[in-house]
Amino acid sequence: MIKAVLCDLGDTLINFHEIDVLKAFVQGARQTYTYLANELKLTLPPFDHYRRSQQWAIRWAYLKSKLTGREFNSLDILRRSTFNLRIPVPEDKLVELAWQWYQPLAVQAKADSFAIPMLQELARRNLKLAIVSNTFVPSSALDQHLRQEHLLEFFPYRIYSCQVGVRKPRSKIFQVAIDQLQVRPTEAVFIGDSPSADIRGARRVSLFAILKVHHQRRFFPDSRTFLAYSLDQVPPIIDNINSTFSSLP
């Protein structure tokens, strides 16, 4: 019997795939630059030098994380890059700086139209809900984004790779979620849009898995992996799992 549902964030609950991320990054860099200059009254280098320094630091850290499976936190990048640029940002202002950097992306990325109805139904069934997301964006910024999309209230458990230190499909991040929810793997299902990161990782630790399909693709699910072409198909899939695998201990 399914007792918990774990959800990927990007392009599962909130849609990012049609956004020009590079343009949003430049806008975020401009916002942080303005915040540092106008709000904190700090002396800054030319904007292009400031932007390129952060952009290359993020790109290099992201490449390393993809290659190693280890995750970084962009708060550390902001801290290090501003220090290297000799910008004395107070430690207690870094969280706001991170939000200013992420906010142009959060304005454009909206919740899937079926996300809230699905979550309302899962909550009605008293299922435990968690987010398990690969992200270098600080939890404070992601939580604010979830709040503005009216999703935060559904997720008392939020496991971000930048906090755990590893990325999906590494088993550790899924195991952290299972431990927090206090359920067995066979009592939980994971919903995600990436066959390699989400589905492979979830199945590796024996979770049931639901692949959210954005377009036609070659994918051959096993007996405990299911396809959903929209999130409103998730509750019936869970019903199917419960009826098909009702004899599981």
* pLDDT score recorded for residue 18: 85
The whole-number pLDDT of residue 73 equals: 95
- What CATH number belongs to 4-16+110-244? 3.40.50.1000
Q: Please give the average pLDDT of every successive group of 10 residues along the chain, which has 249 residues.
A: 97 93 93 96 96 92 92 94 95 95 96 98 98 96 97 98 96 97 97 95 97 77 91 97 80
Instruction: For the chain, give every domain's residue range.
Output: 4-16+110-244, 21-108
Residues 6+ apart with CB under 8 A from 108: 19, 24
| 180 contacts 155 by C-beta, under 8 angstroms | no
Record the tokens describing residue 198, joined without a space: 């989400």
Please tell me the distance from the alpha carbon of residue 236 to that of residue 245, in angstroms, as a whole number: 14
**Quick one: pLDDT at residue 134?**
97
